[in-house]
Structure 1
Amino acid sequence: MKQFLVFVRKEFYHILRDKRSMMVLLGIPIVQIVLFGFAITTEVKNSRVAIFDPSKDVYTRQITERIRANAYFDVRFILDSPAQIDQLFKKGQTDMVMVFGDNFAGQINHTGEAAIQLITDATDPNQATTMNGYATNIIHDWQQERMQTLQVPIQIKPEIKMLYNPEMKAAYNFVPGVMGMIFMLICAMMTAIAIVREKENGTMEVLLASPMRPIFIILAKAVPYLTLSLVNFTSILLISVYLLDVPVAGSLGWLFVLSLLFITVALSLGLLISTIVDTQVAAMLASGMMLIMPVVLLSGMIYPVENMPLVLQWFSNIIPAKWYIISVKKLMIEGLTVGSVVKEMALLSLMAAALITISLKKFKKRLE
């Protein structure tokens, strides 16, 4: 029994002195429960709403105030012209626009009927359906109260208009997200494992003893995965267009440039991970927990970022996949010009430059 306890104590010492293993064993469960607890929600909160109200009467103000007071909506714009509606959607500044009909109160008082149009960004069909349902319920509740007050029948039937995805196909939302996840999986994880494998097997020293400079050795490791990612990019687009009926409404050339930029970021992340860990198992865990899980949960691929707590919304800004998915939706689904994704491409470029610089510098230090 004493010998058994000695061996148990030895194993505890081995685990406790490995700080990276301790982080994996104790840190990752905490991160997972926080992310799954707060990020995964089917509710739609803080949806950005703009209102165009040509009537500006007491009834439209009452409905507007109910929308403003509702936790599901965040009224950010009161529009002066219908032309502003298209501009807001193109800039990605609103999720829904509520348009009141002319002489709204007069129509209700004289005919008992009035018009409201709900224009929604349907690139995420689930979110669009939920937003329309919330807004319709608010309008219906106001209508019921007015009927009780006026003792006359009132009928307000909102007209629903779905932008960019009128058929409400889920593929419009999932294709950009799957592209981001696949590139991150192939480039980051496989690059990290490939480099760590050389270190783990002791062959990295042999490679460094060759006449080739270390940076070219690393690039040689990354090029095959870059090529495979471009092949996947082509196959995903072909399947999306010809099998899933998802159009490439914008520039195919700029979509390619954007994807190449994101692939570069993913390769840089893989290189950075390879400088931190020393085993293939650790590389797989780091890639899966640090990259794949945040891509799925915090990039907006499945769950809208606006629904999450403010801290997670801030954290999502450092996830490259978030900006890539936003850009792909704008170029591929909404058919906008490259000018609409300048911010996203600039952020991805900065991330790529920073990651490459840090990774190469750290990698050289480890090999000296």
Structure 2
Amino acid sequence: MKRFVGFVKKEFYHIFRDRRSLFILFGMPIVQVMLFGFAITNEINNVDIAILDHSKDASTKEIIEKISASKYFSVKDYLDNENEIETAFKKGKIKAVLNFEKDFSKKLQTENQATIQILTDATDPNTANTISNYTGAILQNYQELINKDIVTPYQINTQTQLFYNKELKSVFMFVPGVMTIILMLVSAMMTSISITREKELGTMEILLVSPLKPLQVIIGKVVPYIFLSVINAIIIILLSIFIFKMPIAGNYFLLAAETILFIINALSLGILISTVSASQQTAMMISLMGLMLPVILLSGFIFPITSMPLPLQVISNIIPAKWFIIILKGIMLKGVGLAYLWKETLILIGMTLFFIAISVKKYKTRLE
């Protein structure tokens, strides 16, 4: 019995001395609970909206102030005419526009009813539907307040118009998200085990003494997987078009170029993981745990980023998938070009160069 107790104690000592085991045992559950607890929500908070006020009277100002005071919406822009609505949506920040008809207060007093048009960006159908419901609830509350002391109640009518997804098809949201997840995980995992495989098979020494420069080795590792991932992307796009009837309103060549850029980004991230991993098992674990949860939860694929706590919103900016989903929705559903997507494109290019530079540096360290 003493031998058994001594053996158990030894195992405890081994576990407590291994920091990686302690992180997996205690760190990962804490991280997952925090991520799931704060990121997974069907509510919306601080959604950016714009106002098109044709009336500019006391009633519209009161409604706008009431909407601004809620935690759900943040008024970011005031439009001058209907022509600016689609431009605001194409920029990607504004998720809804409230359009007040002309002589709003006058119609309430003379006709006992007036109309507000709620226009939403339905590329994310769940968010669009929630925005309409929340706005309707705020307007209903305002209507109850102004009807307290009058005999003939005022009626505020709402008209909802959906942009880019009039039928609120959920597939329009899931296709860009699923495409991003597949390309990120498959590409990163394929390359994350490439260099670690060399280490385990003992062929790394051959590469270390070869005349190839570190950058050439990194690019050589990536190029075959670029070809395979491009085939994967083509299959996904074809299935989306012919099976799920996913529209592509924008330029096909821009879509292809942005997809290749994201594939290179994911592959370079996989190479970086492989250079810091001692074994294929470690590389696979980092790829799955370090990429899967952030890509699903913090990319804006399923859950709106604006509803998350500020620290998670900041962290989401370093997730390449976030920027690629914005690009895919912009090209496929909104039909926008590089003039609207240049910032996201530059961010992906910068991230790719950063991952490759760190990978080359890590590889050079092994040479020394």
Unaligned 5+ segments in structure 1 are none
How many pairs are equivalent? 368
Q: Which whole-Å CA distance do the structure 1 matches of 2:347 and 2:261 have between them? A: 10
In the TM superposition, residue 21 of structure 1 has moved relative to its aligned partner by: 3.1
Q: Which whole-Å CA distance do the structure 1 matches of 2:150 and 2:85 have between them? A: 33
Kindly indicate whether the alpha-carbon contact (under 8 Å) linking 1:186 and 1:225 is maintained by their aligned counterparts in 2.
Answer: no
In the TM superposition, residue 207 of structure 1 has moved relative to its aligned partner by: 4.4
What is the alpha-carbon root mean square deviation over aligned residues?
1.7
In the TM superposition, residue 201 of structure 1 has moved relative to its aligned partner by: 2.8
Q: Which whole-Å CA distance do the structure 2 matches of 1:26 and 1:48 have between them? A: 37
Instruction: Show the counterpart of 2:304.
Output: 304
Instruction: Show the counterpart of 2:364.
Output: 364
Kindly provide the CA deviation profile for residues 117-170 of structure 1, in whole angstroms up to 9, marking residues without a partner as x. 011000000000000001011112222332332211333221101001111111
Instruction: Show the counterpart of 1:269.
Output: 269
2:145 matched to 1:145?
yes
Instruction: Show the counterpart of 1:15.
Output: 15
- When residues 288 and 197 of structure 1 are mapped into structure 2, their CA distance, relative to the original with a 3 A threshold, is same
In the TM superposition, residue 208 of structure 1 has moved relative to its aligned partner by: 4.0
Instruction: Show the counterpart of 2:105.
Output: 105
Instruction: Show the counterpart of 2:353.
Output: 353
Instruction: Show the counterpart of 1:240.
Output: 240
Kindly indicate whether the alpha-carbon contact (under 8 Å) linking 2:188 and 2:271 is maintained by their aligned counterparts in 1.
Answer: yes
Question: Helix, strand or coil: the match of 2:226?
Answer: helix
Q: Which whole-Å CA distance do the structure 2 matches of 1:21 and 1:286 have between them? A: 13
Question: Helix, strand or coil: the match of 1:49?
Answer: strand
Instruction: Show the counterpart of 1:323.
Output: 323
In the TM superposition, residue 290 of structure 1 has moved relative to its aligned partner by: 1.1
Instruction: Show the counterpart of 1:133.
Output: 133
Question: Helix, strand or coil: the match of 1:161?
Answer: strand
- Letter of the structure 2 residue corresponding to residue 364 of structure 1: K
Q: Which whole-Å CA distance do the structure 2 matches of 1:65 and 1:299 have between them? A: 31
2:183 matched to 1:183?
yes
- When residues 340 and 32 of structure 1 are mapped into structure 2, their CA distance, relative to the original with a 3 A threshold, is same
- When residues 200 and 221 of structure 1 are mapped into structure 2, their CA distance, relative to the original with a 3 A threshold, is same
Instruction: Show the counterpart of 1:255.
Output: 255
Q: Which whole-Å CA distance do the structure 1 matches of 2:256 and 2:309 have between them? A: 33
Instruction: Show the counterpart of 2:225.
Output: 225
Instruction: Show the counterpart of 1:93.
Output: 93
- When residues 150 and 184 of structure 1 are mapped into structure 2, their CA distance, relative to the original with a 3 A threshold, is same
Instruction: Show the counterpart of 1:170.
Output: 170
Question: Helix, strand or coil: the match of 2:59?
Answer: helix
TM-score calculated relative to the size of structure 2: 0.95
Instruction: Show the counterpart of 2:6.
Output: 6
Q: Which whole-Å CA distance do the structure 2 matches of 1:214 and 1:356 have between them? A: 10
- Letter of the structure 1 residue corresponding to residue 104 of structure 2: F
- Letter of the structure 2 residue corresponding to residue 245 of structure 1: K
Q: Which whole-Å CA distance do the structure 1 matches of 2:304 and 2:332 have between them? A: 19
Deviates more, 1:149-158 or 1:264-273: 149-158
In the TM superposition, residue 203 of structure 1 has moved relative to its aligned partner by: 2.8
Q: Which whole-Å CA distance do the structure 2 matches of 1:209 and 1:363 have between them? A: 12
Instruction: Show the counterpart of 2:278.
Output: 278
Kindly indicate whether the alpha-carbon contact (under 8 Å) linking 2:194 and 2:271 is maintained by their aligned counterparts in 1.
Answer: no
Instruction: Show the counterpart of 2:35.
Output: 35
Unaligned 5+ segments in structure 2 are none
2:343 matched to 1:343?
yes
Kindly provide the CA deviation profile for residues 30-75 of structure 1, in whole angstroms up to 9, marking residues without a partner as x. 2111101111111011111111112111211121111111111111
In the TM superposition, residue 9 of structure 1 has moved relative to its aligned partner by: 3.3
- Letter of the structure 1 residue corresponding to residue 159 of structure 2: E
Instruction: Show the counterpart of 2:288.
Output: 288
In the TM superposition, residue 215 of structure 1 has moved relative to its aligned partner by: 4.3
Question: Helix, strand or coil: the match of 1:115?
Answer: strand
TM-score calculated relative to the size of structure 1: 0.95
Deviates more, 1:46-55 or 1:3-12: 3-12
Deviates more, 1:212-221 or 1:151-160: 212-221
Q: Which whole-Å CA distance do the structure 2 matches of 1:104 and 1:339 have between them? A: 36
In the TM superposition, residue 367 of structure 1 has moved relative to its aligned partner by: 4.5
